[in-house]
Structure 1
Amino acid sequence: LLVTWDWTSELTRPDRLSTVLNKVLKQDVTDANKFRYDISQAKEVRRQDLKLYDRQKFDEVVKRLTTNSQNTSHISDAGAHLGIGLGSTLYDVLNHTEIYKDRYNATSNDNENGTNIILTRRDAEKLIQFLSDYIEIEGNIIKPKPIDVKLVNFGLFNTSSKLFSSIVYVKRRTKVHVVPLRCPYRYISRPFTDWLAGGYHRLSSRFDVFPKNLTIDLEVMKANMSAIESRLNPKLASLESRLNEKLVSVESRLNQKLVSIESKLNEKLVSIEPTMNDDLVLDATTMNDDLVLYATTMNEVKIQPYRSRTFNISANAKWTQNGVTVAGGHGNGSATNQLNWPEGLYVDDDQTVIAADWLNARIIQWKKGDTTNGQVAAGGNGQGNGLHQLNRPAGILIDKETNNLIICDYANRRVVRWSPRSGTTQGEILIDNIQCWGLAMDEQRYLYVSDAGKHEVRRYQLGEQNGTLVAGGNGQGDGLNQLKFPTYLFVDRQQKIYVSDNNNHRVMKWAKGEKEGIVVAGGQGQGKALTQLSYPLGIVVDTLGTLYVADQGNHRVMRWPQGAKQGSVIVDGNVEGAGAKQFGYLRGLSFDRRGNLYAVDENNHRVQRFSIT
């Protein structure tokens, strides 16, 4: 058995190179996440036992670091960067590549012995990677990377090729040792047996278990190996056959068990009750997408349900242009297979479609694959202001911690909550005297509500009546601190609020605590250009920050990447109509966990699904 690093004779051996680097790059005594690069020590590298290639690498680093120190008057600023200017990473400087997003934080401390450059751990690792592919930082020590162990058939040795390093793998009792043979490459021209025997004798001086005299007969060794192999092969084949049979049987039983366990776990994860005194503790990191993971100690991890919705969608994703009806589509009416001017939309994790049935004064849900039997989840007792009634419901959402349904009861000027438990016949009022339209909930379980009458958005703690103003509230208008009939909302994990500013034909984003928002879509007046919107309604934001908008008046769904000046059309109804690729005024918008797009088609009294391709 030989153990080798895959490096050439032009490079310094990794163990020698790491010894030198441990003198040059040391962990900072005041901060374990920082390292000090000693330039004066690095300049002495030529005196070390390094090959020309590695000396040139060190010279390049020293040159760039010292040049930067001389040219930067404010080098102690944490924003100072090396070599080619602000914003460059160490990797960029040394390799002359383009500027990346991550910043290189370096400061210079002059002292009587020279100049120290303070690096973050990440940038110290980049410096190590630049100098050599065969060394790494472990803790505060620079050491060679693990080496490959190779099993070599003696009969395949070719003394004219460089198969050997100066490292040999030997086994002494139950421990594995890697020790130098002291047989450099230049001796390989000697006959192999002399070379190996010479190295073995040198090795025996370190381990008393080795014989002092050793002769190697390659022909005898090959014959013995062949005899052993011929006896083992039939037994191995038989053993392999029996093991394969066992594995197939075990795999089949395990798959059945795993399917059963997965089904039970999914049921449990979806139905976590808020009455639990303690959070559920797991020792794994793979969980349902509906759960947020956070560490409490070094040895335990806790989970809790996500309240805000997250959608992982590729920047290049495309969708089919012909929609499939998943709810309604049988004309307007009050039967369980019909809708009557639907408005808000929520798609649950199991692809259950929940729609606000505006003129039927009810919330109705449709299970995946069943487009004929909707089930009334709230209301359905005629228009009215009783607790068992709704009147023109608009925005809806599911509180993922309780599975309660929260509804904007628009014409009754209230926000109500309905329990999912069977037998529930009425809801309860959460917020009163508000002309609400859109709803959103963040991970702290704060509820965000748009008030179309007061042209503002407020944030509420459940049970609170007044709330905190978070967007608009300065009268109707098109200023950056104003809204004009705000409708649908979306809140991301940073509590940034996206508002569909309907009558201003734009979508606004308000960062937490800000008094003004910024326009992220539209804002160029009503129109059909890619820079414009027409009475936008439903909005969704994915994990990349890409905004998706139901462009109601233009009968299309648009996508606006973060920071884009114009959007692109992902589903184009072109003109109003009832075809599979047409809309009769879009309202609510949503995605499922697979990235399929759902849109409420109001005038056609249906919900359409557009599959991701």
Structure 2
Amino acid sequence: MSSFLYTPNSYYPIDDSPNNNPNSINNNKPTRNLFRWILLTLAVGILCIFVLTIIITIIIIIFKKKSTHHNYQNSSLNKTEMFLNISKRIKNNTSFTCQLPANPNYKENCTIVAGVLSTSDDELNRLQGPTSVYLDKERNIYVADTTNHRIRKYIPGNSDEGETLIDEKSNIYYPRCLFIDQESNYLFFLDQDIQANYRVQVIQLNSNPLKRTILIVGNQTRSYGMSLDENFNIYVSEYNHHRIVKWLSPNYEQYLIIVGNDKNQLTYPRSIYIDQITNDLYVADKNQIQRWLNNSNESKIVMQGGLLCPRGIEYDCHGNLYISQDKTIKLINNKTNLAGIDIIGIQFYFHWVLNSRKTDELSNPEGIYLDKTNGDLYVVDPSFNLVEKFTTKD
């Protein structure tokens, strides 16, 4: 009785189960060991996967660096090959027949070939400050969507279903001044880098994926004009330097100042145009157009007047000069005076409702492109963010 009172746990009944019996076998130990082994295996597996992921990531990064370097080397080598192929084609192509009307007369109404009205909800196809347009031999339409930092391609008849060829993700900024070699499908364009140096880049349009090469990294100045001659020398207007420079092909590592030295002064030149037949140079300077004959230091004013500096320049096989200026497209030839005559557009005045704009109204048109086969004139209207086509009357 007394021993019962001095036993601390005597209040509770004695449990003789195996778990409380030190002499019995512990059946839970194998289960606990198995659980610990599973946890250890999972931890080791996760650690191995983590290490393997790091190794694979490092290998991919190294491979990408090598691939990028390899592609860059190929682009540099192909630059010379590109020039040789194009120059051979130009020298062998001596036949030419003028198919354009000598006195073009355009219809008042136009057709929208690229872009949508600003009231549209189509964000993808809404252009922003376009400046240049060019066509390839299949009449696909290429647009420098400048403020959106991209180049768009439109199939004829699908003005609201464009395709983005290249954009800001590919390191292009404010593209403008498109130029396409029709036989080789090389697209040249002017843009700038983040240090505000102008650049000339080229894209091989028939490559998949698109191959691109930076041909020129120029001086730190704005540029609004670029053109090529028959030997694929590249002419660039250096806006803040008041001059035109000629980058020499095929390497484009050296340039000549051909206009804007002590004898030939310019004031903020913008657009330029090279006649592909004569290699004469046309320069939009202030409110006039000057022409420099090939291999000559003498210039001649061929167009003068207007409120704004001329923007777009085109030239046909009859000697007609097409200029986008103010609110119209002007034509200058030996039958007109220096002011030229308006052949497209009327003075536009902003309406309360933008859609009430007439189809022949223009607002500070920029780049223009003349289809040398039928006389169609493509006009970039940055105020309405559209590209329009004007056709000749029958």
Partner of 2:128: 340
Indicate the residue corresponding to 1:597 in structure 2.
Answer: 377
- Report what 2:318 is aligned to: 544
What TM-score, normalized to structure 2? 0.68
Q: Can you give the 5+ residue segments of structure 2 that lack an aligned partner in the other structure? A: 1-80, 351-356
Alpha-carbon distance in structure 1 between the residues aligned to 2:271 and 2:86:
35
Q: CA RMSD in A?
A: 3.0
Q: In structure 2, do the counterparts of structure 1 residues 462 and 486 end up closer, same or farther at CA, with 3 Å as the change threshold?
A: farther
Does the CA-based 8 Å contact 2:86-2:184 persist in structure 1?
no
1:395 is aligned with what amino acid?
Answer: C
Give, in angstroms, the shift of residue 560 of structure 1. 0.2
- C-alpha change, 1:334 and 1:404, in structure 2 (3 Å) is farther
Question: 1:571, CA displacement in angstroms?
Answer: 0.7
Q: Cα distance 1:316–1:563, how it changes in 2: closer, same or farther (>3 A)?
A: closer
Q: Aligned to 1:342, what secondary structure does the other structure show?
A: coil
Q: 1:418 to 1:335 in 2, by over 3 A?
A: farther
- After superposition, what is the alpha-carbon deviation per residue over 1:410-440, rounded to whole angstroms, capped at 9, x for unaligned? 4552111222244446732211133332222
Does 2:159 correspond to 1:367?
Answer: no
Distance (Å, rounded) in 2 between the aligned partners of 1:453 and 1:506: 18
Encode CA deviations 1:193-214: one digit per residue, 9 max, x unaligned. xxxxxxxxxxxxxxxxxxxxxx
Aligned residues of 1:471 and 1:516 also touching (Cα < 8 A): no
Instruction: Give, in whole Å, the separation in 2 of the partners of 1:445 and 1:344.
Output: 19
Secondary structure of 2:295's match? coil
Task: Note closer, same or farther for the CA distance 1:351–1:341 as it changes in structure 2 (3 Å cut).
Answer: same
8 Å Cα contact 1:555/1:576 also seen in 2: no
The structural deviation recorded for 1:581 is 1.1
Normalized against structure 1, the TM-score is what?
0.45
SS at match of 2:358: coil
**Do the aligned partners of 1:407 and 1:416 also contact (CA within 8 Å) in 2?**
yes
In the other structure, the counterpart of 1:433 is: 218
The letter for the 2-side match of 1:610 is: F
Partner of 1:320: 107
8 A Cα contact 1:520 1:563, kept in partner: no
Q: CA deviation at 1:377?
A: 2.0
Q: What residue in structure 1 maps to residue 291 of structure 2?
A: 509
Counting matched residue pairs gives: 297
**Judging changes above 3 Å, is the alpha-carbon distance between structure 1 residues 456 and 303 closer, same or farther for their aligned structure 2 residues?**
same
Take 1:431 and 1:576, find their aligned partners in 2: how far apart are those partners?
Answer: 41
Q: Give the letter aligned to residue 590 of structure 1.
A: Y
Distance 2:341 2:85 in 1: 48
Distance (whole Å) between structure 2 residues aligned to residue 556 and residue 327 of structure 1: 19
What residue in structure 2 maps to residue 557 of structure 1?
329
Which of 241, 263, 281 matches 1:454? 241
Distance in 2, Cα, partners of 1:598 & 1:279 = 27
Aligned counterparts of 1:367 and 1:305: Cα–Cα separation in 2? 29
CA displacement, residues 479-513 of structure 1 (integer Å, 9 cap, x when unaligned): x8222222222212121101122xx2011101122
**C-alpha distance in structure 1 between counterparts of 2:139 and 2:86, whole Å:** 30
Match among 396, 400, 415 for residue 200 of structure 2: 415
Structure 1, unmatched stretches of 5+, are 1-272, 281-290, 295-301, 382-387, 475-479, 528-533
Output the CA distance in 1 between the equivalents of 2:134 and 2:161.
17
In structure 2, the CA distance between the partners of 1:586 and 1:275, relative to structure 1 (3 Å rule), is closer
Contact residue 471 and residue 517 of structure 1 kept, 8 A: no
Which secondary structure does the structure 2 equivalent of 1:445 belong to?
coil
2-structure distance, mates of 1:471, 1:279: 25
Q: Does 1:587 align with 2:366?
A: yes
Do the aligned residues in 2 keep the contact of 1:438 with 1:488 (CA within 8 Å)? Answer: yes
Q: Say which SS state the counterpart of residue 536 (structure 1) adopts.
A: coil
Q: Does 1:519 align with 2:301?
A: yes
What fraction of aligned residue pairs are identical, expressed as a percent?
Answer: 25
8 Å contact kept, 1:459–1:469: yes
**Aligned twin of 1:569:** 342
Deviation at 1:451, TM superposition (A): 1.6
Matched to 1:574, the amino acid is Q
* 1:563-604, Cα deviation, whole Å (9 max, x unpaired): 742311101221245431111220001112210111000010
The match for 1:443 is 230
In 2, the alpha carbon distance for the partners of 1:391 and 1:415 equals 11
> In structure 1, what is the Cα distance between the partners aligned to 2:143 and 2:200?
16
Query: Does the Cα contact within 8 Å between 2:284 and 2:311 map onto a contact in 1?
Result: yes
Is the counterpart of residue 488 in structure 1 residue 271 in structure 2?
yes
Task: Give, in angstroms, the shift of residue 605 of structure 1.
Answer: 0.5
Amino acid at match of 2:389: R
Range moving further from structure 2, 358-367 or 509-518 = 509-518
Distance between the aligned counterparts of 1:588 and 1:603, measured in 2? 12
Query: C-alpha separation between the residues in 2 aligned to 1:275 and 1:449?
Result: 18
Residues 396 and 591 (structure 1 numbering): CA distance in 2 closer, same or farther, change over 3 Å? same
| Aligned AA (1:572) | G
